[in-house]
Amino acid sequence: MKVRNVHILTKNGHQSAHALGLEIQAWLRHRGISASVYPNADYSLAASVDRPDLILVLGGDGTMLSVAHQLNDFSVPLLGFNLGRVGFLTELSIENWAESLAGVLDQDCGCSSRILLAYVLERPGRDPVSGRIINDLVVSRSGLARLLGMRLEYGGETVAELRADGLIVATPMGSTAYAVAAGGPLISPDLEVMEICPICPFLSRLKPMVLPSAGEATIRIEHPTQETYLTLDGQEGIPLYQGDVIRITQAKERLTFLIPDQNSFVCKLQHKGYI
């Protein structure tokens, strides 16, 4: 992949990330590559007027998720330098960043095209609310310790009627986030599946499930608590009410990541302490 133009996205309000972004910008320009630095919060406008060949993200997984939600062109590959704690979506360490980045630019690194999920929230008397999910969609309660009553369907069939603290629907990328903490399996990001993982189900035999993402999963809110929310990629919360219906399918768009040769899925799991 020939790289001529790079956008460098830095974590909002993070002085070290901004300083590193300026260093990388100067280094890239010295190599004859156009480079621009943007705070993450200000990127949506720049993304609509200037198409880069590569987007470098300096931050943690939250920064990567925020950047991905602002993209207009999902074919532009993303590559992250981890300034956070876990950094599962950010491939490279900031230590010896110049050597790492030179290796990426000088070698023919592979790209991984990963699925996104699309959701539609339907509410009687209201226009539907829709969007994309990169990691996970979570139906959960807050406040009082009362269980939610939900009905889960897949492909038009009822899977379970359950009372639980909540329910997670995750992409393969999101399987290493909230879903694994709730007892779900680790899933290769190259697969085209969705993971459905109940959170502390009560008197239910429903176990975490991995299903083809080509099908439609439906969550019907039957008995909400006083504070029930739909949380999207851990960044946006929408209150839920009785009768709300959430439909989840595979999105038309796919997210593209640049994958350095040494960063296989198994190696990453071992490095991050998952296995």
Query: Both tokens of residue 160?
Result: 């379970």
Question: What is 70-85 written as a DSSP string?
Answer: T-S-TTS-EEEEE-SS
The secondary structure element, H or E, covering residue 29 is helix 15-30
CB 263 within 8 A of CB 93: no
Element (H, E) at 43: helix 43-49
Q: How would you class 210 by CB atoms within 10 Å of its CB: exposed for 0-12, middle for 13-18, buried for 19 or more?
A: middle
Tell me the backbone φ, ψ of residue 237, rounded to 5 degrees.
Answer: -120, 135
Strand order in the sheet with 166-170: 209-212, 193-199, 166-170, 136-141, 228-232, 236-239
- Residues assigned a catalytic role: 61
